C-alpha cells in the first residue's frame, strides 16, 4: 500500500568524571496522578561514577549511530550527511549515493541501522525527511555500502508516509530497528497535527504510528491490522513523536516519545495497541491548555510504563548488556536532550524500579549505543557535535 558544543566546559578531549543522583525535576502537573506506583518519579538509584571522553568531534547535529562488525561506525548528520567513523575516532568524508533529504527545522538525515547480516550483505537502513509537492514526510531507505565505505548502491525507498504535511517541519519520529527476523520497525511522529485526533487515531493513516515492514518494504501478513484498509503496516498507534526505540532481551520493542509540556513516555509495545495520543496525555500544551479532553488516561488506551514530568526530551535508547557496568544488566539507557545527559532506568518485571541521571554537563544527547566491550557511546547534538565514550569512573 504505502511506499510511497559539546558545551564549552567540556571542550577538552580529556576524560571528565561526571555523575549525579536524581535531579530536582520541579513541580509536576498537579492535575495528573500516576495510574500505578513508580509510573513516574521512581526512587533515585545509587550514584554511579562514570567517565566520559571525547571519541570523535566536529560533527554537525549528529542524530543516529550504528556499529559495524569491524569496529567502525556509521553516523548521520541531520544536514544530510552519512559519515563513516573509524574504530579510533577518525571521521571520514560523506558517503555518496543517498536520496535527497529535506533539512528544514527538525527534518534531515535521521537514524541509521545495519542489517543483522551486514558482515555478508553490507545492507544499511536509514530514515530521513523528504519533501514533495504534497508536503513533508518521514521516509526510510535501504542500500548496500561499498567495501571502502564511500558509496551506497542499490538504494531503494522502503517507506514513505502517505500523509505528507505542508508547512510543518517537526515530529518526524524516525527511529528504525531491524528485528533480526527479516523485519524493520519504523517510528513516525504526529508531524505537529496535535489537535487532529481523528487523523492521528485513524489506523489507515501513518502519522503517530510505529510501523512494521519486511525489510524490502512489503507488509507482513502477521501484522496486527493486516486486512484493514491501508493499515497493514501498522504495529501500534496513538504516539506523539517516537525518537527512541530498542528491542529488549526477549525481542519486544520498547519506545520513548516526546510529550508536550510534561508527559514524555516509555512504552512497551504490544501488537495493535493504542497509546492514546492526542486523546490522553500526562502533559499539557505548551501554552498551558489541556491536551484533548484534559485526561491523563482512559481504559481504552494502554498506559505508559513510565512517564516524565517535567520532560527529559528523549532521543535514542538502548538496553544495557555488557561487562563494564555489571550492575546495569537489562537497564534502559535513554539519551536526554533537555535537561541533557543520560537517563538510566532500573527495570523489574517490565516496570521501572529506579532512575538515575548521569553526565548532565554533556548537554543535548541525541543517541546512545552500547558496545561489545560494555562501554557506551553518546552522540551530543549541537552545532559542534561529537561522540563521547562512557566508561566506569573513579
Give pLDDT tens digits for 260-298: 999 999 999 999 999 999 999 999 999 999 999 899 999
Cell numbers linked to 389: 565514550
Q: Report DSSP letters for 273-339, one per residue.
A: -B--TTTB-SSB-TTSPBSTTSBS--TTSPPPSEEESS---EEEEEE---SSSGGGTT-EEEEETTT
Task: Look at residue 380 and tell me whether its pLDDT is greater than 80.
Answer: yes
Q: Which residues are catalytic?
A: 171
Break the chain into its structural domains and give their ranges. 56-336
- Evaluated on CA atoms 334, 100, 68, 114, the torsion sign reads positive
Task: Please state whether the peptide bond connecting residue 126 to the residue before it is cis, i.e. omega within 30 degrees of 0.
Answer: no
Task: Look at residue 109 and tell me whether its pLDDT is greater than 70.
Answer: yes
For the chain, give the mean pLDDT. Answer: 92
In this prediction, residue 68 carries a pLDDT of 98
Task: Look at residue 22 and tell me whether its pLDDT is greater than 70.
Answer: no
Give pLDDT tens digits for 134-164: 899 999 999 999 999 999 999 999 999 998 8
> What is the chain's Cα-based Rg?
20
In this prediction, residue 147 carries a pLDDT of 97
Give 26's pLDDT tier (boundaries 50, 70, 90).
low
Q: Report the alpha-carbon distance of residue 173 to residue 183 in Å, rounded.
A: 18
Q: Report the alpha-carbon distance of residue 364 to residue 277 in Å, rounded.
A: 25
Residue keyed to cell 559542534: 384
Mean of the pLDDT values across residues 181-198?
A: 94
Q: Report the alpha-carbon distance of residue 76 to residue 83 in Å, rounded.
A: 6
Task: Give the CATH class of 56-336.
Answer: mainly beta
**The pTM is what?**
0.94
Amino acid at each position: 500500500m504505502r511506499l510511497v558544543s559539546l558545551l564549552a566546559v567540556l571542550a577538552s578531549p580529556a576524560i571528565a568524571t561526571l555523575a549525579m543522583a536524581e535531579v530536582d525535576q520541579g513541580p509536576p502537573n498537579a492535575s495528573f496522578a500516576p495510574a500505578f506506583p513508580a509510573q513516574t518519579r521512581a526512587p533515585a538509584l545509587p550514584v554511579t561514577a562514570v567517565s566520559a571522553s571525547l571519541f570523535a568531534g566536529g560533527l554537525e547535529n549528529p542524530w543516529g549511530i550504528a556499529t559495524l562488525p569491524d569496529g567502525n561506525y556509521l553516523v548521520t548528520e541531520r544536514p544530510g550527511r552519512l559519515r563513516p567513523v573509524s574504530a579510533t575516532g577518525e571521521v571520514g568524508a560523506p558517503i555518496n549515493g543517498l536520496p535527497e533529504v529535506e533539512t528544514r527545522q527538525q527534518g534531515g538525515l535521521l537514524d541509521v541501522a545495519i542489517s543483522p547480516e551486514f558482515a555478508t550483505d553490507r545492507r544499511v537502513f536509514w530514515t530521513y525527511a523528504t519533501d514533495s509537492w504534497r508536503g513533508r514526510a518521514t521516509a526510510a531507505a535501504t542500500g548496500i555500502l561499498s567495501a571502502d565505505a564511500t558509496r551506497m548502491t542499490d538504494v531503494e525507498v522502503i517507506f514513505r508516509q502517505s500523509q505528507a504535511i505542508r508547512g510543518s517541519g517537526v515530529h518526524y519520529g524516525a527511529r528504525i530497528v531491524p528485528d533480526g527476523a527479516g523485519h524493520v520497525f519504523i517510528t513516525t511522529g504526529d508531524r505537529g497535527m496535535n489537535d487532529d485526533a481523528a487523523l492521528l487515531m485513524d489506523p489507515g493513516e501513518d502519522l503517530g504510528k510505529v510501523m512494521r515492514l519486511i525489510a524490502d518494504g512489503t507488509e507482513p501478513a502477521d501484522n496486527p491490522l493486516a486486512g484493514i484498509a491501508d493499515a497493514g503496516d501498522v504495529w501500534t498507534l496513538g504516539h506523539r513523536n517516537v525518537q527512541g526505540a530498542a528491542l529488549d532481551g526477549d525481542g519486544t520493542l520498547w519506545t520513548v516519545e516526546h510529550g508536550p509540556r510534561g508527559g514524555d513516555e516509555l512504552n512497551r509495545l504490544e501488537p495493535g495497541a493504542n497509546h492514546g495520543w492526542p486523546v490522553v496525555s500526562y502533559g499539557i500544551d505548551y501554552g498551558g491548555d489541556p491536551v484533548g479532553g484534559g485526561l491523563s488516561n482512559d481504559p481504552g488506551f494502554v498506559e505508559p510504563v513510565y512517564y516524565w514530568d517535567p520532560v527529559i526530551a528523549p532521543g535514542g535508547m538502548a538496553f544495557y548488556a555488557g561487562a563494564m557496568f555489571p550492575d546495569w544488566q537489562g537497564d534502559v539507557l535513554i539519551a536526554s536532550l533537555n535537561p541533557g545527559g543520560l537517563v538510566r532506568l532500573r527495570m523489574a518485571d517490565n516496570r521501572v524500579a529506579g532512575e538515575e541521571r548521569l553526565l548532565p554537563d554533556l548537554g543535548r544527547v541525541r543517541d546512545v549505543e552500547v558496545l561489545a566491550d560494555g562501554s557506551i557511546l553518546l552522540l551530543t547534538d549541537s552545532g559542534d557535535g561529537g561522540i563521547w565514550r562512557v566508561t566506569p569512573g573513579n
